[in-house]
A = this chain, B = another copy of it.
Amino acid sequence: MIIDCHGHYTTAPAAHDRFRQDQLAHYEDTSLPAPVYGAISDDEIRDSVESNQLKLQKERGADLTIFSPRASAMAHHLGDDTVSLDWSRHCNDLIARVCELYPDNFVGVCQLPQSPDAPARNSVGELERCVNELGFVGCNLNPDPSGGHWRSKPLTDRGWYPLFEKLVELDVPAMIHVSSTCNENFHATGAHYINADTTAFMQFIQGDLFTDFPSLRLVIPHGGGAVPYHWGRYRGLADMLGRPPLAEHVMQNVFFDTCVYHQPGIDLLFEVIDVDNILFASEMVGAVRGIDPETGHYFDDTRRYVEALELSEEARAKVFELNARRVYPRLDKILKDRGK
């Protein structure tokens, strides 16, 4: 089977976004009405995915998407921790409804109620709720809740540890994924996302996170940011900084997805990164929605690039299915319980 480990609900019904607008308006001006989360029917949800994520999943031949709230709309920098928790719960509940309607096609990953001035431990409760009550298999962790100002500590700081402890205890991975920015230097999907991926990887080289959490698993999306392209630089920096080789120090715990939107990029990814560390993903419907005039296919139809690699059957199975089942063991259990 083919598992896409990185899909966002970028097409949620209008009532969902309206709640967010009202919520933020009320936060700015409490004389405005308190936000009310309007009713969303199952049919509205069906419409929103059947013409988008589900349609593309089928057209492109994937079987199941690890599905999370729209990343750019997490916007942890807006409001405060109460606002973020309320918004996150609604976002996660909506994902749960999609997964309930299409259990064969979507499995949930949650947004965390992070906030720039809130400690990471404040996100533990919602993570537990999503995993234990909603059946989610992972979370998206924003390394920069300030939205492009990078006011938090590096991910290797002990302030993040309560969250990592919970991830380990629940045996779920986190995808390192920033949100939109309030710093005009950074275009979200064109700069901030990629920069965050690169930044997180370098933090892992510098720190000792995986010595403290040997079973923690983190997925760096967008093909690992700039890292595979500069793999020599990172190998060299690890050596220069007196860190252990990347293979043992970082790559037992860190995985890259295949959200790289052209063949040469995918070729490079598979040339330098061990196939055990690569998870198939498309990030659709997401950052880049158009058709590549050079190929005539959608930029984010990443399966085509991976298929063009002519991998061995074993490698192909790892990238499309087995690595995801290993990194997300709760997904593996769900599938096994279904006889898959």
Chain A interfacial positions (CB closer than 8 Å to B): 143-144, 148-150, 152-154, 183-187, 189-191, 194-195, 198-199, 202-203, 205-206, 222-223, 225-226, 228-237, 239-240, 260-262, 264-265, 267-268, 271-272, 287-290, 292, 294, 299-300
Contacts and interface: CB of A to CB of B under 8 A. Distances in A.
17 contacts: A150-B185, A152-B185, A185-B203, A187-B205, A187-B206, A191-B195, A191-B198, A194-B230, A198-B198, A229-B268, A230-B260, A230-B261, A231-B265, A236-B288, A236-B300, A264-B268, A264-B272
Contacts of A191: 195, 198-199, 202-203
Residue from A189, A228, A233, A294 having most chain B Cβ neighbours under 10 A: A233
Nearest to A302: B232
B292 A235 contact: yes
A149 B151 CA distance: 8
A85 B191 CA distance: 31
Contact of A150 (B148, B189, B264, B267): B148
Contacts of A288: 232-233, 236-237, 240
A300 B233 CA distance: 9
A205 B229 CA distance: 21
Nearest to A269: B229
Nearest to A192: B199
Given A150-B148, A186-B150, A191-B198, A260 B240 contact: no
A129 B307 CA distance: 56
A226 B262 CA distance: 13
Copies in the complex: 2
Nearest to A262: B232
Nearest to A290: B239
Contacts of A154: 184-185
A177 to B, nearest CB: 15
Contacts of A225: 226
A153 B184 contact: yes
Contacts of A153: 184-185
Most buried by B among A202, A239, A300: A202
A228 B223 CA distance: 13
Contacts of A194: 195, 198, 226, 230, 233
A152 to B, nearest CB: 7
B190 A237 contact: yes
Given A185-B144, A198-B194, A199-B185, A229 B234 contact: no
B226 A290 contact: no
Given A150-B185, A191-B202, A236-B290, 18 more contacts: A148-B150, A187-B202, A187-B206, A189-B237, A190-B205, A194-B198, A194-B230, A194-B233, A195-B226, A222-B233, A229-B260, A230-B260, A231-B264, A233-B287, A236-B261, A236-B288, A236-B292, A237-B287
A198 B195 contact: yes
A294 B236 CA distance: 11
A299 B232 contact: yes
A261 B228 CA distance: 11
Contacts of A195: 191, 194-195, 198-199, 226
